[in-house]
Amino acid sequence: MSSISIWKDKAEETSFSPLRTDITVDVAIVGGGITGLTAAYILSKAGKKVAVLEARKIGEGATGSSTGNLYCTIGSPGLHNVKSKFDEQKIKEVVESRAAAVDFIETVITELNIQCDFKRVPWTLFTEGEAGKSFVEKEMQAAEDAGLTVSKSFAIPLKIETGFTVKKQAQFNPLEYVKALSKKIVSGNCSVYELTKVDDVTEGETCTVKTAGGTVTASQVIMATHSPKGIYAVHMNMGPYREYAVGVTLNGSYPADGVWWDWDGVKQEHYSMRTYDTSKGKILMVLGEMHKVGQKEDNHECYDNLEKFLRERYDVRSVEFRWSAQQFKAADGIPYIGLSSGNSKTYIATGFSADGLTYGTLASMIISDEILGKQNKWAKTYDASRVTPLASAKQFIKENVNVAFEFVKDRFTKNEADEFAEVAVGQGKVMEVDGKKCGVHRDASGKLHVVSAICTHMGCINHWNEVEQSWDCPCHGSRFSIDGEVLEGPAYTALKKVMV
């Protein structure tokens, strides 16, 4: 069984060199996922000189771990909740802008002849139980209020209590798309660098982007990193969440092509299903089991629950894929796109929830227009410096009380181990080493890996993630390898290694 995402089964590798010298560009783009590469495509095509700086390999962050679904509706918190926080006009803007982003992706695929299994399919939200009826019915009404045409046809062999369908949405292989796009956009105006971790970004008369291999001087910077690197006010307005995916083969028939969202009214979350053809045959995948980053004691349970979900509904032959992904939820349900509050040259794109492929593309369209001096009719909808106290209050309070609790509690709770001998193979535990909180992991060979347990972003204590063998921050979602290297999230700096 593979522990990497299903998309890597078919996507070809990229081999861009790291940055090894100082360069000057018009726009430095931090992050080589769908947001960064789409912005690079638009800006370089318009004559701007751009550089894309990717810490790992192209598309191997949030983009390569996503569902591959593209739709004009939204997941959590749902259109009807956004309408209740704002108004009907807001959800019309959300739906219209997201539909435009899906159309834009299709146009790019056609123009550049990208092979990524793109196809138009219906999107369906349904529930199998009485507890989910109210949410689904409210969401259907909100979809109609937003101007969408809905129908009630369900080509899926499940007992549906109620639901609705929106036609002409889409699916593709997101990793194939961004890897192909990265190769197509390289030109005299566009350079792409892999294995180039950004260590710092500062604004002055120009922007300075520091990496180990060289410094990039730019007129503007786009933080296309899912959550902006460093300290930003927007971090207080978002919550970091982890979600899981399982891909299986079936003995019987598969659901028809489409995006299938099964709303669980008890758990108050949806399970997203779709099929995809791989080298292992046709796969039915399901994504769900969301939780706050660093706040799930038994991550294996998430995979087990997803497998159980599928086995209760289908004749599962084998489990072929398991992976997980991260998302950041905005307090008012709307992403933050544009100039960051307090900055005049640094653009951010974050708070996409689980809808990042479409929102990431939309963000690149909005930010590129702003850099090119063009008006974008959706820029105000997603204004990154907006203040929405009424719409944000409930979620803002919930997330920040949770952050404060996590920050304080781990400083007063008992260590998970007192001696190295208490850390078994494959485990990670927080313990004191020379009077300091450290994260201790024992690998398969028995070797100890000891790092500071203190997150380098804002000082919370990291928790061990057994499934992914990582140290995860429960406050703002930074994640670190067993040796302390930054995997994702807002932290710039690695955890300090401790010699024992």
pLDDT grade, residue 124 (50/70/90)? very high
Residue 35, classed as helix, strand or coil, is helix
State whether the Cα torsion 189-110-153-89 is positive or negative: positive
The rounded percent of the chain whose pLDDT value lies above 90 is 86
Residue 403 predicted with pLDDT over 80: no
Residues 237-251, mean pLDDT to the nearest whole number: 96
Question: What are the boundaries of each domain within the chain?
Answer: 415-488
Whether the pLDDT of residue 395 is over 90: the answer is: no
CA distance 75 to 91: 13
pLDDT bracket for residue 408 (50, 70, 90): low
Inform me whether the pLDDT recorded for 349 exceeds 80: yes
Mean pLDDT along residues 158-185: 97
210-219, 381-390, 417-426: least confident range: 381-390
Cis omega (within 30 of 0) on the bond before 77?
A: yes
Give me the pLDDT at residue 400, please: 63
* Range 284-302 average pLDDT: 95
Per-residue confidence band for 483, with pLDDT thresholds at 50, 70 and 90: very high
Give the pLDDT band (50/70/90) at residue 255. Answer: very high
pLDDT at 391: 59
Backbone angles phi, psi at 251, to 5 degrees: -85, -35
How does pLDDT run across 309-329, given as a tens digit for each residue? 999 999 999 999 999 999 999
CB atoms within 10 A of CB 371: 21
Least confident piece of the model among 154-163, 181-190, 401-410: 401-410
CATH dotted code for 415-488? 2.102.10.10
Beta bridge partners of 291: 242
Residue 68 has pLDDT above 60, yes or no: yes
Q: Is the pLDDT of residue 9 over 70?
A: yes
Q: What is the pLDDT of residues 148-165, one digit of tens each?
A: 999 998 888 899 999 999
The mean per-residue pLDDT over the stretch 293-316 comes to 96
Alpha helices in 320-456 (DSSP H): 356-371, 389-412
Model confidence at 174, pLDDT cuts 50, 70, 90, reads very high
- Stretch 384-396: mean pLDDT: 69
Three-state DSSP class for residue 40: helix
Closest-CA residue to 447 (of 426, 472, 418): 426
* Sign of the alpha-carbon dihedral angle for 487, 366, 41, 25: negative
Q: Is the pLDDT of residue 54 over 90?
A: yes
pLDDT at 154: 85
CA–CA separation, 18 and 437 (whole Å): 34
Please tell me the predicted confidence (pLDDT) of residue 2: 62
The reported pLDDT for the residue numbered 413 is 73
pTM of the model: 0.94
pLDDT above 90 (res 342): no
Using pLDDT thresholds of 50, 70 and 90, give the confidence band for residue 98. very high
Provide the pLDDT for residue 343: 87
DSSP structural state of residue 256: P
